[in-house]
């Protein structure tokens, strides 16, 4: 497999794909070692993750540079991702013991009967990962999986394999045996072969079509399949907001990482009484974005990681304009340099007849639709097959929370967006997925309960 730099198209590395024989051997070794790993005191597994944390900080600049070289993520955002993974590791390490401790459900009240719940690891699990935040979406899975005593077969995205390789080296160097954390290199075909192995669970982050294919392939096997998928995340801007602050926050939420975040703002609805002022403010915030060399500290938008996405974005612009949208800025490729670049693009006069308001764009493009009132905004926000995040910008908290209460999505935001917290469950509804990572439920997901009915003689 060739690794290319999306900023200039140059090949930067060549990695050997994991073969079918290597894959089965890894699964067999993981099967043999997993019980030994699970039997170790939890303190040892926690210590391994603490050492992994130290490796991340020690290799910080090098790791950020690797991430930028293979994904085109601006270097400041690559550093930001490593900064952001540290509190996630801390959360898992601090909470895993309380989550997996045995629970006494019924004390012996003199009848001689006691009831206890224990939490056992699933066994050998597959972690199939996306490229857009490889540290975040990887660590959300492999860290709690390892801490709770599972063996992990980790397949990073083919577009972030150098980062995946570095993650594996750091875990091995931290005391996680290679048998317990196996690196699987390759594209979707290798991912499909991994799903076909005799494993005890699949934890996937990626697109809805791939998630659906994995759920179909695993159906009937009676193993947990957890899917963290895409979104078409809406935000409603009410008429009582600080317009400039909302516009600046939402421009960041739409264009951070070139819009390649699962929780990027993908649709904006704005109350008609402030629509013109909001769009003006939004356009001036977009004007301030710096498109350029991702290794430059000043850059806010780099190339698209996956060149093929450019065609999706071009088609969304053409479809929207043909159906009456107004292209306010951007709309096309940035030429030169050999990489895959797209201009930050803003469309107004959009409707739900247009693909840009229905299908995940996963790029630097946003549609802004004017609405007459809260009822229309709510109906449009819920008019989607996805359900990852949704937000309301408003000064009036009860108004915002009432709207958010009626939105169907896994996360809701008041006056913020594009945000993930280790303390809160990260989950999608509909085409955005099944199950949750992070929080206590994102640790519990890697265990299965055992119910103990104990009658004392």
By annotation, the residues acting in catalysis are 228, 262
Smallest gap from Cβ 182 to ligand NAD, in A, equals 15
Smallest gap from Cβ 209 to ligand NAD, in A, equals 7
Contact residue for ligand NAD among 33, 45, 88, 158 (CB under 6 A): 158
Contact residue for ligand NAD among 84, 175, 188, 224 (CB under 6 A): 188
Residue 128 or 268 with smaller CB distance to ligand NAD: 128
Strand order in the sheet with 447-455: 103-106, 113-121, 447-455
Smallest gap from Cβ 200 to ligand NAD, in A, equals 16
Contact residue for ligand NAD among 294, 428, 430, 435 (CB under 6 A): 428
Measured in residues, the chain has a length of: 457
Contact residue for ligand NAD among 52, 131, 135, 342 (CB under 6 A): 131
Contact residue for ligand NAD among 71, 132, 226, 300 (CB under 6 A): 132
Contact residue for ligand NAD among 191, 201, 344, 422 (CB under 6 A): 191
Contact residue for ligand NAD among 71, 157, 316, 361 (CB under 6 A): 157
Binding segment (CB under 6 A) for ligand NAD, from list 33-41, 187-195, 273-281, 391-399:
187-195
Site membership for ligand NAD, residue 210 (CB under 6 A): yes
Interior CA angle at 41 toward 38 and 47, to 5°? 100
Task: Name 175's Cβ contacts closer than 8 Å, sequence gap at least 6.
Answer: 44, 47, 48, 51
Binding segment (CB under 6 A) for ligand NAD, from list 49-57, 69-77, 96-104, 130-138:
130-138
Task: Provide the mask over 287-306, with x wherever binding to ligand NAD is found by CB under 6 A and - wherever it is not.
Answer: -------------------x
Contact residue for ligand NAD among 1, 86, 116, 192 (CB under 6 A): 192
Task: Provide the mask over 365-404, with x wherever binding to ligand NAD is found by CB under 6 A and - wherever it is not.
Answer: -----------------------x----------------
Site membership for ligand NAD, residue 439 (CB under 6 A): no
Count of positions on this chain that bind ligand NAD (CB under 6 A): 33
Binding segment (CB under 6 A) for ligand NAD, from list 90-98, 111-119, 122-130, 236-244:
122-130
Contact residue for ligand NAD among 362, 393, 413, 446 (CB under 6 A): 362
Taking the C-alpha atoms of residue 71 and residue 133, their distance in angstroms, rounded to an integer, is 9
Smallest gap from Cβ 180 to ligand NAD, in A, equals 20
Binding segment (CB under 6 A) for ligand NAD, from list 66-74, 169-177, 205-213, 250-258:
205-213
Task: Provide the mask over 243-262, with x wherever binding to ligand NAD is found by CB under 6 A and - wherever it is not.
Answer: -------------------x
Smallest gap from Cβ 217 to ligand NAD, in A, equals 7
Contact residue for ligand NAD among 138, 230, 367, 387 (CB under 6 A): 230
The residue with its CB nearest to ligand NAD is 191
Closest to 164 measured CA to CA, from 66, 262, 258: 66
Pairing of strands 326-329, 345-348: antiparallel
Site membership for ligand NAD, residue 187 (CB under 6 A): yes
Pairing of strands 2-4, 447-455: unpaired
Q: What is the 3-state secondary structure (H, E, C) of the chain?
A: CEEECCCCCCEEEECCCCCHHHHHHHHHHHHHHHHHHHHCCHHHHHHHHHHHHHHHHHCHHHHHHHHHHHHCCCHHHHHHHHHHHHHHHHHHHHHHHHHHCCEEEECCCCCCEEEEEEEEECCEEEEECCCCCHHHHHHHHHHHHHHCCCEEEEECCCCCHHHHHHHHHHHHCCCCCCCCEEECCCCHHHHHHHHCCCCCEEEEECCHHHHHHHHHHHCCCCCCEEEECCCCEEEEECCCCCHHHHHHHHHHHHHHHHHCCCCCEEEEEEEHHHHHHHHHHHHHHHHCCCECCCCCCCCCECCCCCCCHHHHHHHHHHHHHHCCCEEEECCCECCCCCCCCECCEEEECCCCCCHHHCCCCCCCEEEEEEECCHHHHHHHHCCCCCCCEEEEECCCHHHHHHHHHCCCCCEEEECCCCCCCCCCCEECCHHHEECEECHHHHHHCCEEEEEEEEECC
Site membership for ligand NAD, residue 17 (CB under 6 A): no
Site membership for ligand NAD, residue 89 (CB under 6 A): no
Q: What is the contact surface with ligand NAD in residues (CB under 6 A)?
A: 128-133, 137, 155, 157-158, 187-188, 191-192, 195, 205-207, 210, 213-214, 228-231, 262, 306, 360, 362, 388, 426, 428, 433
């Amino acid at each position: 497999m060739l690794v290319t730099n999306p900023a200039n198209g140059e090949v930067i590395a060549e990695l050997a794909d994991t073969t079918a024989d290597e894959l089965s051997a890894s699964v067999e070794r993981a099967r043999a070692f997993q019980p030994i790993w699970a039997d170790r005191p939890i303190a040892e597994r926690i210590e391994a993750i603490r050492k992994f944390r130290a490796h991340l900080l020690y290799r910080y600049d090098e790791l950020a540079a690797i991430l930028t070289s293979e994904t085109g993520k601006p270097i400041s955002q690559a550093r930001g991702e490593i900064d952001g993974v540290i509190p996630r590791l801390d959360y898992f390490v601090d909470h895993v013991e309380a989550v997996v401790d045995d629970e006494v459900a019924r004390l012996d009240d003199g009848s001689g009967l006691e009831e206890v719940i224990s939490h056992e690891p699933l066994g050998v699990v597959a972690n199939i990962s996306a490229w857009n935040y490889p540290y975040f979406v990887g660590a959300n899975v492999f860290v709690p999986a390892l801490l709770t005593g599972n063996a992990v077969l980790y397949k990073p995205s083919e577009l972030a394999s150098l980062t995946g390789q570095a993650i594996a080296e750091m875990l091995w160097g931290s005391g996680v045996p290679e048998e317990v954390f196996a690196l699987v290199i390759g594209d979707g075909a290798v991912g499909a072969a991994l799903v076909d192995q005799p494993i005890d669970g699949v934890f996937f982050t990626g697109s809805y079509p791939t998630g659906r294919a994995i759920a179909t392939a695993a159906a009937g096997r009676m193993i947990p399949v957890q899917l963290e998928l895409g979104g078409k995340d809406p935000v409603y801007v009410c008429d009582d907001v600080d317009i400039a602050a909302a516009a600046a926050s939402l421009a960041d939420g739409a264009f951070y990482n070139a819009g390649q975040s699962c929780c990027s703002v993908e649709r904006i609805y704005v109350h008609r009484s402030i629509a013109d002022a909001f769009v003006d403010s939004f356009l001036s915030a977009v004007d301030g974005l710096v498109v350029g060399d991702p290794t430059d500290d000043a850059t806010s938008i780099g190339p698209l990681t996956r060149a093929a996405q450019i065609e999706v974005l071009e088609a969304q612009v053409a479809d929207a304009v043909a159906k009456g949208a107004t292209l306010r800025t951007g709309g096309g490729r940035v030429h030169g340099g050999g990489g895959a670049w797209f201009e930050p693009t803003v469309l107004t006069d959009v409707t739900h007849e247009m693909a840009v308001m229905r299908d995940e764009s996963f790029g630097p493009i946003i549609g802004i639709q004017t609405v007459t009132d809260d009822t229309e905004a709510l109906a449009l926000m819920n008019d989607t097959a996805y359900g990852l995040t949704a937000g309301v910008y408003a000064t009036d908290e009860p108004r915002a929370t009432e709207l958010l209460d009626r939105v169907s999505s896994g996360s809701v935001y008041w006056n913020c967006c594009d945000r993930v917290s280790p303390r809160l469950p990260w989950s999608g509804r509909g085409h955005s997925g099944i199950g949750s990572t992070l929080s206590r439920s994102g640790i519990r997901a890697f265990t299965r309960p055992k119910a103990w009915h104990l009658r004392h003689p």
